[in-house]
């Protein structure tokens, strides 16, 4: 959950940080892109190390690193120090997802979509707490206090991870021989292209909805964004139940289709209409993750599953972090709202890719 809080701190503090460091939106977007890249790239070695060390040690190590890094961010007085400490924060936070999702796929043979949805609900709670923590910190102290609070949270949860995360059977170390199946590799290539679509759209949603609300609603913005992000758990639960009953790829196509008008409407709406559309947008956006994680279990054998989870996460949050920089440039020249209709063009591409994925899987079964 603390990892998801971290994801929302810079977006929730976007205006405060640009004012404090006297930088523009694209410069802060570039720093956030670097942190996001590290948030993704760190997942790659961890997906290999999962088979060697197991989830308990890796997650506890991640939380200890987050504690130290978040504490370091809270003492940053220059933009250089802020950037460097956020990079380390991203690296340590990146360990969580490939490890925890691989653990879920091992423990839950049945009802995998529901299990991923349950995990996702806590993610939604974390994402919603990020703006609240930012609001509390800025209202009572300063932006640095938000990162200090994250450090304290990790200090509390490290013992819980050590005592409650179960031990798992050690798996064979992944080798190149596990990637010799050409049909399987073709399926994975298409899937990773879908991951890029999802990652870019997630980065835009999480990074630029808070500043849109900050400009529109002022001091109440973080509380509103927190409630909107919390509503994402509805999407997690719905996709968890529906994903165990219906074709997950088709459900994902429907979600992409619905997201096209929702992204476009952000540009045109304000006040209560903007809040209503944003709630629907959060529900749709957060319904994606349980479906994506469950599809990975369908297409990836156990021997390489941790690698696929890690690669998926790297693409979704590492490579896709570039969207924060591009969005910042758009905001500097136009506005934060303009970003959303531009990136709505991703979803038709995603629908085509899902169609190709289904066709490739049919060929693989022949």
d(C-alpha 236, C-alpha 288), whole Å: 8
CA-CA distance, 11 to 98, in Å (whole number)?
Answer: 23
pLDDT band for position 90 (50/70/90)? confident
DSSP state letter for 110 = S
Which CATH number is associated with domain 2-164+177-365? Answer: 1.20.1250.20
Question: What's the pTM value of the predicted model, to 2 decimals?
Answer: 0.76
Comparing 217 with 172, which gets the higher pLDDT? 217
Read off the pLDDT of residues 264-274 as tens digits, 9 standing for 90 and up. 999 998 888 99
Encode pLDDT of 175-189 as tens digits: 555 566 678 788 888
The torsion angles phi and psi of 160, rounded to 5 degrees, stand at -65, -40
Cα–Cα–Cα angle for 121, 125, 161, nearest 5°?
80
SS3 182: helix
* Residue ranges per structural domain of the chain: 2-164+177-365
């Amino acid at each position: 959950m603390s990892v998801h809080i971290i994801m929302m701190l810079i977006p929730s503090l976007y205006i405060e940080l640009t004012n404090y460091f006297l930088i523009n939106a694209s410069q802060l977007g570039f720093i956030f892109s670097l942190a996001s890249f590290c948030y993704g790239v760190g997942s790659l070695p961890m997906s290999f190390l999962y088979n060697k060390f197991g989830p308990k040690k890796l997650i506890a190590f991640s939380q200890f690193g987050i504690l130290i890094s978040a504490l370091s961010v809270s003492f940053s007085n220059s933009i250089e120090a802020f950037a460097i400490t956020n990079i380390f924060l991203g690296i340590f936070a990146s360990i969580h997802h490939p490890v925890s999702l691989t653990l879920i796929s091992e423990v839950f043979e049945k009802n995998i979509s529901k299990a991923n949805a349950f995990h996702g609900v806590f993610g939604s709670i974390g994402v919603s707490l990020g703006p609240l923590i930012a609001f509390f910190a800025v209202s009572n102290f300063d932006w640095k206090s938000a990162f200090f609070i994250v450090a304290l949270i990790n200090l509390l949860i490290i013992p819980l991870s050590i005592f409650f995360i179960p031990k798992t059977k050690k798996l064979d170390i992944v080798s190149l021989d596990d990637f010799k199946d050409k049909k399987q590799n073709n399926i994975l290539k298409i899937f990773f292209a879908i991951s890029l679509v999802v990652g870019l759209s997630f980065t835009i949603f999480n990074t630029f909805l808070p500043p849109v609300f900050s400009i529109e609603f002022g001091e109440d913005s973080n509380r509103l964004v927190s409630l909107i992000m919390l509503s994402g758990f509805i999407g997690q639960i719905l996709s968890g139940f529906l994903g165990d009953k219906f074709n997950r790829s088709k459900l994902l196509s429907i979600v992409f289709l619905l997201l096209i008008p929702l992204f476009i409407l952000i540009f045109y709406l304000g006040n209560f209409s903007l809040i209503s559309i944003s709630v629907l947008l959060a529900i749709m956006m957060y319904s994606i993750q349980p479906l994506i994680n469950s599809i990975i279990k369908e297409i990836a054998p156990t021997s390489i599953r941790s690698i696929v989870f890690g690669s998926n996460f790297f693409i979704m949050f590492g490579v896709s972090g570039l969207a924060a920089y591009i969005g910042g440039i758009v905001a500097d020249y136009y506005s934060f709202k303009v970003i959303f209709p531009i990136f709505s063009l991703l979803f038709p591409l995603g629908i085509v890719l899902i169609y190709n994925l289904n066709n490739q899987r049919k060929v693989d079964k022949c």
